Amino acid sequence: MHKANHFSSTFGFLMAATGFAVGLGNIWRFPYITGENGGGAFVIVYLGCALIIGIPILIAELLMGRMGQGNPPLAMENVALANGKSAAWKHAGHLHLLTAFTIQGTYCVVAGWVLWYLFKAITTGFTDISATAAATQFNDVLGSVGGMLTWTAVALLLTSVIIYAGVNDGIERSVRVLMPTLFLLMIVLVIFNATQAGFGDALAYLFTPDFSKIDGGTFLAAVGQAFFSIGVGMAGMLIFGSYLPQEVSITKCVLVIIIIDTCVALFAGLMIFPMVFRFGMDPAGGPGLIFQTLPVAFAQMPGGHFVAILFFTLLTVAAVTSMVGLMEPLVAWVEDTFDLPRHQATVIMFVSISALGVLSTLSYNVISDWTVGSMDLNGILDYLANQVMLPLGGLLIAIFSAWQVHKVNLKTELPLMPDIVFEIWHILLRFLLPFAIVIILVTGLG
């Protein structure tokens, strides 16, 4: 069996879990998903989903990991058997792993963009770059197969080195310094934006809802984004839960993770949308939004060259810590299932994810005309992972923990949770959340 490490402190766990949760999902994905779903109305739905659905499921997922003490399928199987239930529940863990693998395959390519932009920031900077030039530069990046493959490989290599060294040493040491620095830099960029044109427009766009734009698809996008951003349903929190010392309060940790995660997402909006409006760009600009707006801002900003280097360095950290959280459960599963040492399991996952990463890269250029309906391969993978597999994974965690695990066992494992909070949490998981997720899935996919 895979021998679980344990985090050395609550702070170490919080920074690792926050590092996993706070990644490109907040800083890269949230602004463009908000843009594509009508701004303020989506933000309200997203916040509701994060609080009402995200918090209870995140508590449940960390708890199942800690109770199960193993990789996701093994943890689910251990908890099921301990409660006299079917070992088939391990397949919920397999779904989480498949989701992590699918997300990692496209995420590593975007992490490659971040690294490439870091390289550009260091070598040439973004001096005097216009909005048109920034858009052209990004299109050139998408068109360069060799460049994208190279930087995707670098992103995966960085992640694999940390995994190879062990999560304790790799993540705990780095995120203690780097995550707080990322938060600080985001605040600086928001303050800078507040002194420039476009900030009022961004505030109105993010916080003035137009409820006519809300439909089933909005709720599905919001649930998908909440799960993607918080990190539930993709195996990372299950494995981090198995590394969590018994004396740490899961409830308190979850509140801290959710608060930081949500603040970072909103700050990302206030970092990017003022520039979008200032330079007359399209807020629904899609996945390239951050890469087409920030270089323009850095060009206009005093000390912009230095800030660009710092920003893309820390965005790299956010990307890599999230990739570690996605890759760690996959490596742990390979270790256990095939009884391999960690370094071999890491190499196997590096090669497997690279193969999907190559396909993802090519779908931006060489095979971009391979579509199903109106979606290319990346669109299909993103849709399956975020709109179908993540909500489904969350649904299974809710049903499993509330209906299959004995209530007294849950209560024993959460001694620091007040009784009234425990009862509300249990009722939400048992009745409201499964019903809500099913309705959202059916209406959104329909």
Is residue 119 predicted with pLDDT exceeding 50?
yes
Residue percentage of the chain with pLDDT more than 70: 97
Distance of CA 86 to the CA centre of its chain: 30
- Would you give the DSSP letter of residue 403? I
Q: Which CATH architecture has domain 10-445?
A: Orthogonal Bundle (1.10)
227, 444 in Cβ contact below 8 A? no
377, 364 in Cβ contact below 8 A? no
Which run of H or E residues covers position 377? Answer: helix 377-382
DSSP per-residue letters across 326-365? HHHHHHHHHHHHHT--HHHHHHHHHHHHHHHHHHHHHTTT
Q: What is the pLDDT of residues 11-65, one digit of tens each?
A: 878 888 888 888 888 888 888 888 888 889 999 999 998 888 889 999 999 999 9
Q: Which of 202, 231, 192, 198 is nearest to 311 (CA)?
A: 192
Name the residue ranges covered by the structural domains of the chain: 10-445
**What is the pLDDT, as a whole number, of residue 223?**
83
Q: What is the pLDDT of residues 265-306, one digit of tens each?
A: 899 889 888 988 887 878 887 788 889 888 988 888 888 898
Q: What is the pTM of this model?
A: 0.90
In sequence order, what are the residues at sequence separation of 6 or more whose Cβ sits closer than 8 angstroms to the Cβ of residue 118? 309, 312, 313, 315, 316
